[in-house]
Amino acid sequence: MDTRYYYDHGTPAERWERAGLFFDARDYTAAARVLSGLVEEVPEQTGPRLLLARSYYHSAQLRRAEAELRIIVERDPVEHYARLMLGRTLERQGRNEEAESHLRIAAALAGEFDGGLDREFDRA
């Protein structure tokens, strides 16, 4: 049996559910396999793309996670969780300076003005 068939089989709703089960079971690679096809089919939906990015992040596929997160942020600049994840993904790649701006924006969007942002202004 072609294993790719298993990952692509079913309606979008069934595949979304299957991806969630894989993700919850911490089988991030399998979740990503299901989600990559789903994202191709419904590229305008943020939910599957965000879970795909999270799956890539947790399976250490950081470049792929970054690519998906950049698409989300480009489409919706105030998507705070995608900004936070993008910042964390960049940090894991050792790109701290680039990560900092995304983390500050995420904090501001979440209303966390008294923490990291104040420290940033104090250093300036």
CATH classification of 3-123 is 1.25.40.10, yes or no?
yes
Name which of 5-19, 73-87, 102-116 the model is least confident about: 102-116
Q: What is the residue extent of each domain of the chain?
A: 3-123
Is the pLDDT confidence value at 115 over 80? no
With a pLDDT cut of 90, the percent of the chain lying above it is 77
Question: Which pTM value belongs to this model?
Answer: 0.83
Q: How confident is the model at residue 122 (pLDDT cuts 50, 70, 90)?
A: very low
With a pLDDT cut of 70, the percent of the chain lying above it is 85
C-beta neighbour count of 64 within 10 angstroms = 18
Question: Residue 96: which H helix or E strand, with range?
Answer: helix 96-109
C-beta neighbour count of 87 within 10 angstroms = 23
For residues 56-76, average pLDDT = 97
